[in-house]
Amino acid sequence: MQSIELLFKKHNDAILKNTSNFSFEENTVSILFINILNPINRKNAILFAMIFLSKNFFLKIPAHGIAFLICVTLSMGWTSLAPSGEQKTKNTTEKRIDSLRREHKKFVYNDPAKALELINEALSMADSANHSSAKIECRIDLSYLHRITGNYELALQHAFDALTKLKIQLAEDKGNDDGNMTSSILLAETHTAIGKTYGDMTYYPLALKYFKKAETIFIEHEKLRSLAYLYMNKAIIYDSNGESMYSNTLFKKSLQIFKQLKDTASIGHAYNNLSISYKQSEDFGTAKKYNDSAIHIYRMVENKAALANALNNSARIAYDQKKFAAGLDYLDVALRVIDEIGNLRFNSDNNALRGATHFKLGHSDIAEKILLEELPNSKTHFFMENSELILETLVALYQQKQDLRELSTYSGMLLDLRTDKEEKQDKKAIIEEKYAKEFDEQADLFDSKEKRYKKSNEILILIFVLLALQFVVLIILFQKNKLLV
């Protein structure tokens, strides 16, 4: 088969020298089709179309005229749709940013430092390319990452930074329905990130305030899946505050939406959260029922990370029921799954509970080995709940052994941990006050920019009206001068 380039050269020479066996119009249509197939020469199709017109064959030969119309339409369409070099670069940058954001999520629990490196690279690219949505999305990702690692001040800083940019972007998107909707949804996600951070800091009234802002937007844009997850976040706040009646109502509300959407994996998450809530209120039978349902779904959809977490939760329910042997069985199954996925957080949860369970079963030596190995990991990665369980168990273990030196060491560490928790409780109000003030300042900045934006529009309208009036006056004067003449 002859290449397109060779065919192009052959037909080009033929039509210009008029030495081919085909008629001029047949050659022209042939070249048009060949050029369409060759991305480099599509624009040349228009040139040959002009030659075709100049020879006036369009009116004389209808069949070739139809072919000509098809060729020119396709040529011009493909030419206009073909992305420019600048657009190709932009698309490549967007794909790279999306890839980095997806990749960082794999390391959030397993290697937070790696996750931070990836999302910072994505943010740097988004800022350099001035990609407005990506700049905000990366800052939301950073807020979530710092919240998970316990750095609440940085989490709030990135979230409020995203909020400031969004407020300005919303003003610029006025009149652009698609842009306005995208910015509004990002605004809801930013409010959610702020709410989750305040929730982790146990500053529940502020958390609920921001969740309410997000809820209003999700309802307005009918984002049911996001709304269902928001209800779960609100439920966790109520559950943490001991208000299980409210939390269970919200968990069931989210479950109902997920069932409506037929979102099987998210139904599993709702069951898992209901299980934790019922465990908190010591209704272990109902907690186990929901947890078993979650495990069944996670196995069905092959969500190994969620399955490992649910199996660890099964062990926690058994631990609270003092069914330590059954709990150890759950931990063994969970550990096999965790080893497959390499999740550092779930591994820490498993080891802390495994050590405590072995101690309850009277396996003091095994418990001591597991707990001492896990303690540095739980402290390094800010898994405070695990650190507290490990230290409580070690204190009980050395008290039982009457090892006063080790008892003194770990009792001191446990006291320091609890003092640190209390200090964080005190600091949360200071941090909240600081960011509330900054938020007010950012709101003022947004208002002033919006006022300037409105004023600029008003000035432009005024100039347009004055020019129109001037034009009308000139026409009137011209008509008068014409009459006088």
Question: Domain segments of the chain: what residues?
Answer: 4-83
Q: Return the pLDDT at 163.
A: 92
pLDDT of 133-192, one tens digit each?
899 999 999 999 998 877 888 999 999 999 998 888 887 776 666 667 888 899 999 999
Q: Please give the full DSSP string across 19-72, using - where no structure is assigned.
A: -SSS-HHHHHHHHHHHHHH-GGGHHHHHHHHHHHHHTTHHHH-HHHHHHHHHHH
Q: How confident is the model at residue 108 (pLDDT cuts 50, 70, 90)?
A: confident
Give me the phi and psi of 421, to 5 degrees please. Answer: -65, -40
Q: Quick one: tokens of 374?
A: 């896990």
Q: Return the pLDDT at 420.
A: 80
Q: Of 109-118, 157-166, 229-238, 344-353, where does mean pLDDT reach its minimum?
A: 109-118
Q: Of 16-30, 136-150, 386-400, 422-436, where does mean pLDDT reach its minimum?
A: 16-30
Q: How far apart are CA 156 and CA 197, in angstroms?
A: 7
Beta-carbon contacts of residue 162 (< 8 Å; ≥ 6 apart): 136, 139, 140, 143, 186, 190, 193
Report which residue type is found at 25.
E
Q: How many residues does the chain have?
A: 485
**Residue 118, CB half-sphere, CA atoms under 13 Å: how many?**
20
CB 223 within 8 A of CB 185: yes
Report which residue type is found at 167.
K
Q: Quick one: tokens of 190?
A: 């930013």
pTM: 0.65
Give me the phi and psi of 111, to 5 degrees please. Answer: -150, 80
Q: Quick one: tokens of 425?
A: 């409780």
Residue with tokens 């794999």: 106
Beta-carbon contacts of residue 85 (< 8 Å; ≥ 6 apart): none
Q: How far apart are CA 309 and CA 385, in angstroms?
A: 15
